[in-house]
Amino acid sequence: MKKTKPKYRQIIDAAVVVIAENGYHQAQVSKIAKQAGVADGTIYLYFKNKEDILISLFQDKMGYFVEKIEEKIAGKEKAAEKLLVMVESHFSMLSVDRHLAIVTQLELRQSNKDLRHKINEVLKGYLALIERILFDGRESGEFSADLDIRLARQMIFGTMDETLTTWVMNDQKYDLTALAEPVHKLLISGCGKP
């Protein structure tokens, strides 16, 4: 399995750094190779093409995200609590990896429609996790019986995403993790009065 070889990870990690520091369109394969300490041609022994590096990068990181979050919510009972843990984990993981935050929130979005469809495929795992939490919450009576799970998932993901992107566009200059709790509260109760 190629994915376990050390150079595979070297290249993925190099790609995150190079894209974050140079931007998507200035992240040439040769730069990634240099950062990874390998020859240009070597990249193609581990990845089909440049797009494959980016998809693999996203799969790799997002897979780790979902895994970590699932671990953490395993012990929680309430859906609301699970959501809080999810938002906290997501925010916290991007807080500690500034490069990755830039890559996922800004740079990777500059990819073309084709690549974005593939990225969306990868995202489905995360979205399914959110929907599972919402479904459980509705079943248990914690959430409205008429909650539209798909829309609610779009609200939750859209809100987190917009919060993250705003934070990155503002050069990550405020504490993101402090926003997890109020964002969670908003998602649970909306703008209206309790």
Which residues make up the interface to DNA (CB under 7 A)? 2, 5, 7, 25-30, 38-45, 49-51
Alpha-carbon distance 95 to 144, whole Å?
32
Q: At what angle do helices 50-73 and 113-139 cross, to 10 degrees?
A: 10
Q: Is 86 exposed, middle or buried (0-12, 13-18, 19+ CB in 10 A)?
A: buried
Tell me how long the chain is.
194
Question: Nearer to its own copies by C-beta: 72 or 118?
Answer: 118
Question: Nearer to DNA by C-beta: 106 or 127?
Answer: 106
The helix/strand/coil state of 141 is coil
List of residues contacting its own copies (CB under 8 A): 23-25, 80, 83, 106-107, 109-113, 116-117, 120, 134, 137, 141-144, 147-148, 151-152, 154-163, 166, 169, 179, 182-183, 186-194
Alpha-carbon distance 111 to 119, whole Å?
10
Instruction: Tell me how far, at minimum, the Cβ of 76 lies from DNA, in Å.
Output: 42
Among its own copies, DNA, none, the one that 39 touches (CB under a kind-dependent 5 to 8 A) is: DNA
Kindly give, in sequence order, each residue whose CB lies less than 8 Å from that of residue 57, ignoring residues fewer than 6 positions away.
Answer: 12, 15, 16, 103
Question: Nearer to DNA by C-beta: 49 or 189?
Answer: 49
Among DNA, its own copies, none, the one that 162 touches (CB under a kind-dependent 5 to 8 A) is: its own copies
Alpha-carbon distance 190 to 106, whole Å?
27
Among its own copies, DNA, none, the one that 76 touches (CB under a kind-dependent 5 to 8 A) is: none
Question: Nearer to DNA by C-beta: 5 or 117?
Answer: 5
